[in-house]
Structure 1
Amino acid sequence: MAFDAYMMRAVLTEYKREFGEAKIEKVLQPRNDEVDLVIHSGKKSSRLVFNVGPNAPRLQLSDTVKENPLQAPMFCMFLRKHLTGGKIISVDQPGFDRIAVFTVSCYDEMGFSTVKKLVCEIMGKYANLIVLDSEDKVITALKIIDFSASTVRQVLPGLKYQIPEKQPKLDPTEIDRELFFEKLRQFPKERTVEKFITGVYSGIATQIAREISYRTSGKTDMPIEEIDKERFYAVFSAWQKLLIEEDYSPTVAYDKNGKPIDYSYMDISYLVGAQKKKFDSFKALFDEYFAEKDRLERIHQRAHDLLTLLSNATARTERKLAIQREDLIESEKGAVYKKYADLITANIYRLERGMESFKAIDYYDENCPEIEIKLDSRLDPSKNAQKMYKLYNKCKTAKEILTEQISIWEKELLYLESVKSFLERAENEQDLIDIRDELYRSGYASKMRGYKPTKSVKLRPIKYKTSGGYRLLVGRNNLQNDELTFRVAQKNDIWFHVKDIPGSHVIMVTDGEEPSEKDYTEAAELAAYYSKAKGDVVAVDYTRVKNIKKPQGSKPGFVIYKTNYTAYVKPSCNLEEN
């Protein structure tokens, strides 16, 4: 969720409960847009993290130790000079907004006691970390905002600090029943519950508004005119009570692959199908949530060169295909040349050298129209016919070659799409190594200078079990797909793959038994899930492994098959990884 004013209050409440006044032992800046204060109080220590990046700005306590640059940035050096050894004596949330003000008792350059304030503004892309003096004047900031950046509000050394202007909205914790229904009557009835919550009340993230809507009506986009108004107020009041009593329930929602997709200070029920995990503290929540997010982000950053390679290869292949398809259309003229040659031969008795054209009945057309055929006046009629036949044969040969080449490049394009699909689903460094190996072995070694492939394929399929207890093996890349299908699977195991779309090979290990219809459905849903297929209904082919063949010289993952069946399923992964 977006880090809203209520999440800010929840985190500050936890900080005050755990630390109260805390000594600043170290100042670190592991990233350009993040500052960590190592704080200590009594026997407790932690890191106070100020992240003001554009993607996930937040304030949190953390136990995660991060790698720091050898040379600290200037802002970090400034904070070290002025705040190290200081004590945080108070924390405020002015205007009940996404702003936290940490007042620090410290010493100036002359050794005299003074006060400085560290202001953390979590305002989306405008998030900032600002240092103020005892008179609330800006000393410096992580992001200096001058007149060229904003004509409304500047953050410049020497200027008096101004709290960002708030929208004229109501504090939901101060709303009684009468005012709630008054605002509800005034709001356009065709608009949704979500829009009412975020439009009338301050500091609320969209996800919380959707949660309130879902608990009210079972939908996140329900218009106000269609809801039970009393039910709506009951849900709103329960949420209001949670905020007032600070009865938080730190929760993270995960998708079926275990990837974190959202977090909140309350239970998240509108994300149907998501797995939920509750935490004892927001510190534990953020550490786990962002550790996994950061890990996946690092994986994708390390995959940048592979994505570039695939993007360039795809663009080249598409250009080749476009040219060859145009040439194929041109080669279709061969039939016209043959017709002209046949008509010249049929009418040769009335043709002479020097003629530039002649008219003949087109017997190839059922209406038998009269058409005009142009001739080369330098050639006799027989040579004109031979010239047309040569053009026909040239087009015929070109058509055969182009048809074959187009098929090859279309398969190459599908292959590149499949590799990109696996790359987008990579979850760890080994997944990237496997994909690099695959590209190296598939003819892209010249684009990967200095890379040495591993000696053999490491089989690490994703494993599941159906409701009936049958093992399901899912390939993580094309090399694994081949390994699973042609070396691991037995001939009577069942092979699944989404139809005509890149995806994983899924093997259902039968051990000679016949699975139930439900087992087949679960395996097909899994094959659809581990593919690029999108939509409510996806076609998935399945057959016995003995019916799968791999053409000689074909790319990894490419197979042909017959005697197959097709299931139409919704992409789903309701099984637990085994």
Structure 2
Amino acid sequence: MALDGIVIANIRQELEQTLLGGRLYKIAQPETDELLFTIKTPKQQYRLVISANASLPLIYLSEENKPSPMTAPNFCMLLRKHLNNGRIISITQPGLERILDFEIEHLNDLGDLCRKHLIAEFMGKHSNIIFCDDKQNILDSIKHISSQTSSVREVLPGRTYFIPQTMHKKNPLQTNDAEFAEAVFTKPMPLSKAVYTGYTGISPAVAEEICYEASVSSEKPANCLEENEQLHLYHIFSDCMEQVKSGQFAPNIFYENGEPKEFSAIPMAMYADCTPFDSISALLRSFYSEKDKFTRIRQKSSDLRRIVSTALERSYKKLDIQEKQLKDTEKREKFRVYGELINTYGYNIPEGAKSFTALNYYTNEEISIPLDPMLTPSENAVKYFNRYNKLKRTFEADSKLIEETKAETQHLESIATALDIAVNEEDLVELKEELIQAGYIHRKGKGGKKEKVTSKPFHYISSDGFDMYVGKNNFQNDELTFKFANGNDWWFHAKKMPGSHVIVRTGGKELPDRTFEEAASLAAYYSKGRDQDKVEIDYVIKKEVKKPASAKPGFVVYYTNYSMMASTDISAIKQAD
């Protein structure tokens, strides 16, 4: 994610406004790579979290406390010794680096006023929290980096602290048109990559946005731009950096179909669905809690996904074999005709003949029929009728098996789609129960009880005020369609693909066109085709929808319907609380 130099600059501004002059009241280390500071200012008390986690480095003002280990780690004890009751006198960011330097004033053991630096580096797997004296000598760090680990810089007590310039990137806050041209327009690579590799603190997302606002393709080679494109791009870049220098930040989370996609401290015109925040800390808390929710659900559903994908793979293979066997039965009618023609013209066949030619009275054409010279004509006819009857039985059996296998495959595909739209752990309970009832999972324990179901369908309100409900799984689809909906409500579903049943409650009123379109968009998004721009949707009055006897959950039939192409973008549709 884009915890880039611009976001760090926004964090620095927020921390400077809230924490400057504050005293370090408590210092804790709840995780091996995370610190939690309680800071008292004349106005109020704050909690500051600094994490050097390799996969998720973060810094933000927190509203929650975290439990700490009974015995504090050595790094935490060292910070307590030197910094407890210390006062924050400055918070700086070198250039637009992903680094924050906290300068803290404190009294030493002799009562003399001293200054120390706590430097937080947010650089992915190289993230660290480093404690230095006023002469930039490292006293300790939350992660020790030896020369065996890194040939660029050692982070060990006694070493001198410096920022490694491994990428030779330039400072975007101190650039000019000539330097920009040299840093970007000389590179034979995609334009957006040239921007973020040429300047420090610029994320790929911000580089994409700069290209978007300049109306230049981010994939265009940077060294192939025309003069007016170069000029326009530089002006957009300069305007962006001026916003950062003047502290004109606008924290936003950008969504794609309800899921948090990206965040930034500056506006991004290339995203349509965004939520603004008053503070960057509130943004980070919200973004990572939402992102964590989606990640956690995917992790929780991984076992179910594996079971479904394994069953689907087996079902596809079985269907392929059955269809090949069915294809082999296509010649059965030929054997029946051979038998009939031998019985009709057999008196003309000489003894020991290997074949004979006869008029096929079905097509009025002459055909040559192979014969077994060791058999009589009547025995040859019986042989062909036996082959016909065997293939006929195979055809009938395979046709039934193929129908069953297709129903099983459609059922599994619908469960796979339901797993994709699950938003919380409660949604997975019903899906697990469906797999248990279908025989793909064994219920644990003898006479194991069914888990309590608390999941409910999605509920949306159309722009015209009509209630729209979306089933999250096959059980909910059946419940919505056959128990909840009235006969004159409208029913929507993606055409010929797994997806949710969508019910629009009419209340006896005529539905406006806009509500039809919004309900169709919900059916498109909550279907297997959600990654497409548009999906064909069938819609019909609910009373026309029937459930065949012994059909699998969620399976229905209808013999008359309307159809429309619907967008999968549901960002403008209001979801009820």
Query: Shift in Å at residue 344 of structure 1?
Result: 4.3
SS of the aligned residue for 1:307 comes to helix
Aligned partner letter, 1:206: P
TM-score normalised per structure 1: 0.83
Alignment CA distance shift 1:476-1:182 (3 Å)? closer
SS of the aligned residue for 1:217 comes to coil
SS of the aligned residue for 2:497 comes to coil
Aligned partner letter, 2:11: V
Task: Give the corresponding residue for 2:238.
Answer: 237
Post-superposition CA distance 1:480-517 (Å, at most 9, x none): 11111111111111111110111111112122222222
SS of the aligned residue for 2:214 comes to helix
Assess if the C-alpha contact under 8 Å between 1:138 and 1:161 holds in 2: no
Task: Give the corresponding residue for 1:37.
Answer: 36
Query: Shift in Å at residue 542 of structure 1?
Result: 0.6
Counterpart mapping for 1:173-188 below 5 A: 173-176=173-176, 178-179=177-178, 182-183=181-182, 186-187=185-186
Query: Shift in Å at residue 251 of structure 1?
Result: 1.7
Assess if the C-alpha contact under 8 Å between 2:426 and 2:454 holds in 1: no
Task: Give the corresponding residue for 2:267.
Answer: 267
The alignment status of 1:544 with 2:545, answered yes or no, reads no
CA distance in 1, matches of 2:335, 2:192: 67
Query: Shift in Å at residue 429 of structure 1?
Result: 2.4
Assess if the C-alpha contact under 8 Å between 2:427 and 2:455 holds in 1: no
Alignment CA distance shift 1:458-1:559 (3 Å)? farther
The alignment status of 1:14 with 2:14, answered yes or no, reads yes
Post-superposition CA distance 1:285-342 (Å, at most 9, x none): 1111112222222222222222222222222222322322232223334334334434
Task: Give the corresponding residue for 2:381.
Answer: 385
Task: Give the corresponding residue for 2:554.
Answer: 557
CA distance in 2, matches of 1:118, 1:374: 97
Aligned partner letter, 2:211: S
Query: Shift in Å at residue 461 of structure 1?
Result: 2.5
Task: Give the corresponding residue for 2:428.
Answer: 432
Aligned partner letter, 1:169: K
Counterpart mapping for 1:369-518 below 5 A: 370=368, 373=370, 375=372, 377=374, 379-446=375-442, 452-454=449-451, 460-518=456-514
Counterpart mapping for 1:36-75 below 5 A: 36-42=35-41, 43-54=44-55, 56-65=56-65
Tell me, which stretches of 5 or more residues in structure 2 are unaligned?
A: none
Assess if the C-alpha contact under 8 Å between 1:198 and 1:206 holds in 2: yes
Task: Give the corresponding residue for 1:527.
Answer: 523
Aligned partner letter, 1:264: S
The alignment status of 1:327 with 2:328, answered yes or no, reads no
Counterpart mapping for 1:179-218 below 5 A: 179=178, 182-183=181-182, 186-187=185-186, 194-217=192-215
Aligned partner letter, 2:201: G
SS of the aligned residue for 1:542 comes to strand
Q: 1:567 aligns with which of 564, 567, 570?
A: 564
SS of the aligned residue for 1:503 comes to coil
SS of the aligned residue for 2:391 comes to helix
CA distance in 2, matches of 1:225, 1:183: 15
SS of the aligned residue for 1:446 comes to coil
Cα RMSD over matched residues?
A: 3.9
Alignment CA distance shift 1:163-1:330 (3 Å)? farther
Query: Shift in Å at residue 546 of structure 1?
Result: 0.8
The alignment status of 1:311 with 2:296, answered yes or no, reads no
CA distance in 2, matches of 1:161, 1:359: 99
SS of the aligned residue for 1:473 comes to strand
CA distance in 2, matches of 1:71, 1:550: 61
Task: Give the corresponding residue for 1:122.
Answer: 122
Query: Shift in Å at residue 375 of structure 1?
Result: 2.9
Post-superposition CA distance 1:198-232 (Å, at most 9, x none): 24333211211222233333976678439666654
Identity %: 31
Aligned partner letter, 2:497: I
TM-score normalised per structure 2: 0.83
Alignment CA distance shift 1:316-1:92 (3 Å)? same
Aligned partner letter, 2:303: D
CA distance in 2, matches of 1:362, 1:307: 59
Assess if the C-alpha contact under 8 Å between 1:86 and 1:104 holds in 2: no
Post-superposition CA distance 1:437-485 (Å, at most 9, x none): 3333344452666763247x65722222323332212112211111111
Aligned partner letter, 1:397: R
SS of the aligned residue for 1:563 comes to coil
Alignment CA distance shift 1:29-1:181 (3 Å)? closer
Q: How many residues align?
A: 558
Aligned partner letter, 1:244: K
Assess if the C-alpha contact under 8 Å between 1:130 and 1:142 holds in 2: yes
SS of the aligned residue for 1:480 comes to helix
CA distance in 2, matches of 1:133, 1:234: 39
Assess if the C-alpha contact under 8 Å between 1:170 and 1:201 holds in 2: yes
CA distance in 2, matches of 1:315, 1:449: 28
Assess if the C-alpha contact under 8 Å between 1:547 and 1:561 holds in 2: yes
CA distance in 1, matches of 2:144, 2:309: 35
Alignment CA distance shift 1:157-1:26 (3 Å)? closer
Post-superposition CA distance 1:250-283 (Å, at most 9, x none): 22223453x32221111222102x132222x221
